[in-house]
Structures are given as C-alpha cells and as structure tokens.
C-alpha cells in the first residue's frame, strides 16, 4: 500500500483488508497455519479492552461501523469469522498481512501489544461505550460543520455536488492510474434522520415516506396485482405492502414469509397476471413459494430448487430474473472477496458470475463472468436483454474502479479480477491472463467508483413525463472506499426510448448525506408501482420512499 504514514492509517488498512479478504472459515482463518491457533493472547485485561476500544474507535470504526455491524461490502466484526477465529490466527493475519488484497504486514509497524489489544477488544465487543455513539439527533443540521476537502475533478464527483438533474458521464479514457490516491476507509456513520432533512427530487416531483420502521429493507418488486414485495434481509423475511392511502401510506401490510437466510431477489413466475410461484434469491439457494395472485402470506412451504455459492464472507445478495419467454432463470452471484484470483481460491468457484438455470433449478450454466458483484438484475422489456448493476473492486484509489450498469452479453467476460473496464490490468494481478485482455467488455454506463450500485429497474409507468418511459432507475447505496463519500442517491439512466444507453446518467434522488458527511439514508431497491410512482427502499432509515409527480 502507498502513503501509509502513521499507526492510525495502518489500523485503518487493517480494517479494510479484514473486510476484503475473509475467504476461509473460522477453522482456517485466512489460511492461517494450524500451529498459530494455540498462541495465547497475553493482553486480556480490562485496560487492554479499553485500549483496544479506543484504537477501534479512532481507526477501525470508519470501515466497520461504530457498533461493528459492518456495512454493505464491509463485514461485521462483532459476529462472523473474526469472532469464531482463534486469537492466534487473527494475530498471525494482522502481523503478516495480505498485500494482494490491500493489507500490509504490521509486524514491524505496530508493537505486539498493540496488535493483541486490537484482538482483545474485538473478542470482547458487544455494545460500544457511550463515547463511541456520538450520534446526530433530529433537527441538528443547523450550524453543522461541513467537509473542507478540495472539490473533485470532473467527471468524478462526491456527495457535496450531487443534486437532482445533474448529468454525469464517465468514459474509460477518464480513468486515473491505479493508486493515484491512497485507498480510503470511510464507511458511513449512520445517524437518525434530522427533522429538517428529506430526499430531494427534480423539479416537478415530490417525495413521500410510504413506510417506516422497517428492519433492513432491501430489494423491492411489484406483484402483478400491484402489491409491493420487500425483502428484509437480516431478519430473513419477505413483507407485502398493499395499496396507497390518501396520505401516501400502505393500506395493508403483511409478512409473506419468514425463516429465510438473508433473502434478496424476488421474482414472480410465470409472467402475466396469474403467477404460480414467488421465487426467492436466498444467499445460498434459489427457493420458490406457491403463490396465487393477491396472496398476503405464503400458501405453502418454500421449495428448494438449487444451491448457490455462498460462504461465511463475501457478497451475499442473490437477485433473480426470468427471460421474456420464461424459459431461462438468471441468478446473480457476487465474488467472495475483493480481488482473489479464482485460479488459486476455490471459494471463488461460480462466483462473480451471472448463472443461468431452467425455471425448475436444473441445467445450471454460467451466462456471463468476471462481474465482481452483479447485485441488481433486470430484463429490458423492449429488447429482451439482461441488464445488471455492478459493484466493482476496491482499494485502487478514490476514482478506481467505476461501478457500472450494463446490458449483459451471453458468454461475456467483464474482467474481474485480472482486468477492468476493458484493457486495464489490475496491478495486483500484473502479468496474469494476457489472453483475456482483448476479451474484456466495456460496460454501457460507468458510474462513480465505489457508489455501490444495487437494484435497478426499467420504468414502465405512466405517471412520469413521457421522456422517462423505459429509462433505468438504480439505487446507489453509497461508498466506503473514498475519502469523501459518493452515491447515497437514486440515479436515472436515459435510454431515449431505444432500449440502449449512451453512457450518461442523471442524479435523480439525493439528500441522504449531511453536510459533515454523516449519513441518514441509504437507497437499496427501486420499483415502479402500479400507479406509476417510483418506490425506493432505504436500509439506512428503515423506510420506503415514494416519488410522484407534483401535479
């Protein structure tokens, strides 16, 4: 890593690398040799816990969050592989590092005691003490400090310059060299929505809060009868919202299914007014639940159709779409890492791919590959092409690598992990797979790097002006790997009624970040309601927002 000049920066990179490279189970944490597991932590007193907490608050919370719950691509440290691993294995990993994934060795930069204190705090973490929970309360934006960083260099931007109506376009010629800036760890500090803050939409539109109090609302899909199906991933639920009251609230809410394993994707099959199944993209499987039009709860148990690659770490979202003729099912599976080489990491098998199945779960094949994390899938109703919304790799600097939205070519290769955005080789895999250089497809629309582009949809309503017909809306969950955050918005990709993109996108719904950089909202899902309004899930505030025209 470059530009590491202090213990604080070093610890930040520990957090980043721990987030990016967990590729083994607790019994073999980061391929640690069995011999180190027996090593005893000599710094386990209360003073060591307190010292570790201070180190975490100052240097690690920016990545893993103040409560160590993680965020987006950053795993929790309070649970999962780090908690299950032996202290000696963690110490070994922090000491020797993993340069390929952005983690330097710290055996000469930090004392042994400092490394053990970090581990001691991680092993004792439960509820952080009060000084770590300095949160902004409602109505606190007046007089709030603002970020004083220099303005970004176009075509790149950050939240300070995001506003509804702004048009952006990034091309492959705009990309900087790798490591042009230091890789940052700047995970969102989530705070309650101040009473004077509200999402901002373009002139002629208004925003209502359709639902609130939700627990990790993620992808949203509309049933043929107009019901809104929403995945609450962390609690393992699928919710149903029916109707819209005069004041913009749901008329009825129901729990459709429970007991799932971090569900995300939702699809109705077969197409048309009377589907027979609700398909669920669980993190480790494709499931389907019997469904009759208008059901508010599952009519029967979930049927397991196919296993999906999964593990104790890595990207967990699995979206599902069907081809227009209903003969093929597409499932997105993100990588298990940041840039681990699939040639040497078995955990990457059939990951960073879009998989194709028959509707009954048989006949699995790879439809397209080299797509680091194709979170959101959608089928263009005009052309029948499959499209996806992608989280690209991290740790190459503020402005690398752009996330993207693109149509997906059957058999197409999009570069990960060896190449990106055409013939740009990732320096962490220098010299590998030169035969693939000219096969890397450049995506249709390059977005701000680290935006974390999630669900996307084609607008098929009649409420918005005619020029919006068929355009893409996509939720940008927001960056963690940028010095000044970007994303935290909903964007529009104009397709000009042709079904094809020309590279530009428009900022559509913004305002989820406070002037000091704290975050109160994070868009995840987008869907066109039956009345033509745009529905947006927000797992930061636990809300669903409804965007309508103001006429």
Question: What is the rounded distance in angstroms from the CA atom of residue 462 to the CA atom of residue 179?
Answer: 46
Dihedrals phi, psi of 26, to nearest 5 degrees: -60, -30
Residue 254 burial by CB count (10 A; 0-12/13-18/19+): exposed, middle or buried? middle
Question: Over the stretch 206-256, which tens digit does the pLDDT of each residue have?
Answer: 999 999 999 999 999 999 999 999 999 999 999 999 999 999 999 999 999
Residue in this structure with the two tokens 């028959």, named with its chain if needed:
358
What is the pLDDT at residue 71?
A: 54
Question: Over the stretch 67-83, which tens digit does the pLDDT of each residue have?
Answer: 676 655 566 777 778 88
42-62 average pLDDT score: 73
Radius of gyration of the chain (CA): 23
CA distances for 70 relative to 109, 158, 183, 207, angstroms: 26, 22, 18, 29
Chain centre to alpha carbon of residue 258 = 23
**Range of lowest pLDDT (16-30, 479-493, 534-548):** 16-30
> Domains of the chain (ranges plus CATH)?
7-132 (1.10.760.10), 164-549 (2.120.10.30)
Element (H, E) at 457: strand 453-458
In contact, 369 and 410? CB cutoff 8 Å: no
Which strands, in side-by-side order, build the sheet including 365-369? 320-322, 329-333, 353-357, 365-369
Helix (H, G, I), strand (E, B) or coil at 12: helix
What is the pLDDT at residue 17?
A: 40
What is the pLDDT at residue 148?
A: 86
In contact, 476 and 452? CB cutoff 8 Å: yes
**Long-range contacts for 348-353 (Cβ within 8 Å, ≥24 apart)?**
349/309, 350/309, 351/309, 351/314, 351/315, 352/416, 352/417
128-148 average pLDDT score: 55
What is the pLDDT at residue 141?
A: 62
Question: Over the stretch 86-97, which tens digit does the pLDDT of each residue have?
Answer: 989 888 888 888
Residue in this structure with the two tokens 């745009």, named with its chain if needed:
534
Mean pLDDT of the chain: 89
Q: Is pLDDT at 20 greater than 80 in this prediction?
A: no
Q: Is pLDDT at 1 greater than 50 in this prediction?
A: no
What is the pLDDT at residue 402?
A: 98
Residue in this structure with the two tokens 């809300």, named with its chain if needed:
543
pTM for the model stands at 0.82
Q: Is pLDDT at 183 greater than 60 in this prediction?
A: yes
Tell me 513's DSSP state. B
Q: Is pLDDT at 47 greater than 90 in this prediction?
A: no
What is the pLDDT at residue 121?
A: 87
**Range of lowest pLDDT (1-10, 61-70, 125-134):** 1-10
Q: In the numeric block, which tokens belong to residue 128?
A: 């952080």
What is the pLDDT at residue 11?
A: 35
Question: What is the rounded distance in angstroms from the CA atom of residue 476 to the CA atom of residue 340?
Answer: 25
Tell me 164's DSSP state. T
Q: Is pLDDT at 143 greater than 50 in this prediction?
A: yes
Q: Is pLDDT at 171 greater than 50 in this prediction?
A: yes
What is the pLDDT at residue 101?
A: 62
What is the pLDDT at residue 8?
A: 37
Size of the chain in residues: 551
Dihedrals phi, psi of 87, to nearest 5 degrees: -55, -40
Residue in this structure with the two tokens 């070994």, named with its chain if needed:
92
Question: Over the stretch 417-474, which tens digit does the pLDDT of each residue have?
Answer: 999 999 999 999 999 999 999 999 999 999 999 999 999 999 999 999 999 999 999 9
Question: Over the stretch 263-309, which tens digit does the pLDDT of each residue have?
Answer: 999 999 999 999 999 999 999 999 999 999 999 999 999 999 999 99
477-505 average pLDDT score: 96
Name the residue among 393, 402, 387 with its Cα closest to residue 455.
387
Tell me 133's DSSP state. -
How many degrees, rounded to 5, is the angle at CA 222 between CA 220 and CA 226? 140
Helix (H, G, I), strand (E, B) or coil at 413: strand
Pick 118 or 53 by higher pLDDT. Answer: 118
Confidence band for 132, pLDDT divided at 50, 70 and 90: very low
Question: What is the rounded distance in angstroms from the CA atom of residue 383 to the CA atom of residue 402?
Answer: 25
Confidence band for 117, pLDDT divided at 50, 70 and 90: confident
In contact, 480 and 338? CB cutoff 8 Å: no
Q: In the numeric block, which tokens belong to residue 533?
A: 């309004």
How many degrees, rounded to 5, is the angle at CA 72 between CA 58 and CA 259? 125
What is the pLDDT at residue 81?
A: 81
Q: Is pLDDT at 27 greater than 70 in this prediction?
A: no
DSSP string, 324-366: TTSS-EEEEE--SSSS--TTT-GGGTT-SEEEEE-TTS-S-EE
Q: Helix 112-124 and helix 87-96: axis angle, to 10°?
A: 130
């Amino acid at each position: 890593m470059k530009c590491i000049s202090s213990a604080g920066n070093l610890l930040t990179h520990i957090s980043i690398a721990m987030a990016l490279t967990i590729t083994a189970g607790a019994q073999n944490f980061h391929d640690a040799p069995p011999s180190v597991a027996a090593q005893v932590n000599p710094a386990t007193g209360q003073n060591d816990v307190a010292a570790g907490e201070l180190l975490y608050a100052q240097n690690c919370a920016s990545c893993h969050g103040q409560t160590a719950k993680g965020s987006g691509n950053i795993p929790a440290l309070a649970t999962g592989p780090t908690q299950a691993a032996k202290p000696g294995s963690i110490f070994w990993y922090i000491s020797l590092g993993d340069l390929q994934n952005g983690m330097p060795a710290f055996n000469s930069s930090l004392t042994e005691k400092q490394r053990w204190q970090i581990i001691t705090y991680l092993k004792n973490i439960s509820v952080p003490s009060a000084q770590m929970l300095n949160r902004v309360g409602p109505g606190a934006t007046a007089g709030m400090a603002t970020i004083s960083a220099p303005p970004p260099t176009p075509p790149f931007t950050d939240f300070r310059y995001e506003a509804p109506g702004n048009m952006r376009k990034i091309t492959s010629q705009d990309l900087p060299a790798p490591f042009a800036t230091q890789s940052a760890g700047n995970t969102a500090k989530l705070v309650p929505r101040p009473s004077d803050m509200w999402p901002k939409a373009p002139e002629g539109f208004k925003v209502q809060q359709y639902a609130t109090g939700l627990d990790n609302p993620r992808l949203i899909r509309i049933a043929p009868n107009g019901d809104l199906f929403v995945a609450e991933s962390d609690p393992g639920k699928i919710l149903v919202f029916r109707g819209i009251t005069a004041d913009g609230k749901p008329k009825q809410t129901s729990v459709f299914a429970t007991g799932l394993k971090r569900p995300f994707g939702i699809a109705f099959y077969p197409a048309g007014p009377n589907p027979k199944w609700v398909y669920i993209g669980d993190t480790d499987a494709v499931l389907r639940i019997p469904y009759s039009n208008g059901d508010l709860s599952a009519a029967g148990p979930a049927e397991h159709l196919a296993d999906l690659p999964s593990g104790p770490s890595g990207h967990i979202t699995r979206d599902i779409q069907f081809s227009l003729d209903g003969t093929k099912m597409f499932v997105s599976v993100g990588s298990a890492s940041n840039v681990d080489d699939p040639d040497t990491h078995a955990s990457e098998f059939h990951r960073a791919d879009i998989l194709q199945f028959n509707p009954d779960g048989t006949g699995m094949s790879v439809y397209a590959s080299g797509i680091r994390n194709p979170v959101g899938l959608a089928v263009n109703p005009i052309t029948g092409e499959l499209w996806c919304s992608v989280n690209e790799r991290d740790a190459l600097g503020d402005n690398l690598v752009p996330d993207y939205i693109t149509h997906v070519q059957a058999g197409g290769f999009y570069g990960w992990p060896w190449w990106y955005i055409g013939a740009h080789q990732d320096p962490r895999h220098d010299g590998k797979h030169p035969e693939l250089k000219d096969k890397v497809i450049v995506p249709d629309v390059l977005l701000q790097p680290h935006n974390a582009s999630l669900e996307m949809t084609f607008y098929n309503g009649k409420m918005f002006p005619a020029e919006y017909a068929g355009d893409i809306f996509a939720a940008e969950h927001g960056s963690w790997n940028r010095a000044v955050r970007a994303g935290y918005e909903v964007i529009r990709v104009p397709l000009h009624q042709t079904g094809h993109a020309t590279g530009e996108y428009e900022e559509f719904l913004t305002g989820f970040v406070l002037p000091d950089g704290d975050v109160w909202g994070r868009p995840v899902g987008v869907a066109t309601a039956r009345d033509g309004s745009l529905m947006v899930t927000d797992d930061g505030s636990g809300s669903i927002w409804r965007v309508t025209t103001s006429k």
